[in-house]
Amino acid sequence: MAARIFIDGEAGTTGLQIRERLSRLGGAQLISLDERSRKDEAARLDAMRQAELVVLCLPDDAARQAAPMLESLGDAAPKLLDASSAHRVAPGWVYGFPELADTQTNEIAAARRVSNPGCYATGAIALLRPLIDAGLISPDQDITINAVSGYSGGGKAMIAAHEAQGGPAFELYGLALAHKHLPEITLYGGLGRRPIFVPSVGHFRQGMLVSIPIFLDRLPGRPGAQEIAAVYGARYNRAARITAYPGIFSGDLDPQALNGTDRMEIFVCASADNTQVVLIARLDNLGKGAAGAAVQNIGLMLGLPDSGAAEKELASA
């Protein structure tokens, strides 16, 4: 029997992307509300009651209000995946990044409440956590993260502005240095000190590059670039959706190269004297950075087929 899933907020960018991916995935039956009922609390609660899993694709405040609605169903409450940033560091929620640690996949599969990671956070944590775990970076290291995303990650107003008016070619934002992804990057990246994070938006719909520059002689043990690349290779060689570039990369990177996929690529770039590196994650901010990650988590929570390994195999062929 197909698993019944209700997407609360399915008309938004992430909700539509999740719905489209689930329609291609066997074993899922979507419960939908007509446009007039989407803000009707009684109709939403009834849809939640019918579902085995509910996905919240809502603004943060609305997600905080929706979570207790499910709890009101008691033992009949479905599993819950929150795609907002409302519960990413909240107690009692499992962080939905299966590649975070060896045990994370099982924790997500067993969880009743899972928070989907942020797009920037997905790239930053994928770069930082393996090096923290390996002892190559100290948790108190001074870390700067730079990132550029397509405008689809900025919500309906930004999408409308770029598509109707052209939008700026490039712009920095979040310059109060308090971006909402910082708490999850700090916690799940394994950092003891909040990094400086400078996000930006380019005039392209989707795609993302997250980069972290590092002075190697400031790291414990002064590792070389090849040692860092080897850590990524060992960490992600069995991951269904993450590929680590073997060795040192020195080419150009297009942020849109993984658009339409649920994959992420990891690169290590190094100076000729091996004293500096730039660590880079490339992903589709709507794929592994949002809807693709949500479907990956849904599959784990409900025991549905996983298409990630097949996608990675095709990409490397």
Query: Which active-site residues does the annotation give?
Result: 119
Residues 185 and 195 sit within 8 Å (Cβ to Cβ): yes
Q: Distance between CA atoms of 117 and 60, rounded to whole angstroms?
A: 13
Alpha-carbon distance of 169 to 227, in angstroms, equals 37
Tell me the DSSP string of 97-112: -GGGSTTHHHHHHH-S
How far is Cα 13 from Cα 57, in angstroms, rounded to an integer? 9
H/E stretch holding 208? strand 208-215
Phi-psi region of 274 (alpha: psi -120 to 50; beta: other; left: phi over 0): left
**DSSP category for residue 287:** I
Give whole-number Cα distances, 46 to 40, 42, 139, 204, 301, in Å.
10, 6, 46, 39, 21
Q: What are phi and psi of 134, to 5 degrees?
A: -85, -5
Quick one: the chain helix, strand, coil %, rounded to 5? 40, 20, 40
Supply the DSSP symbol for 59: -
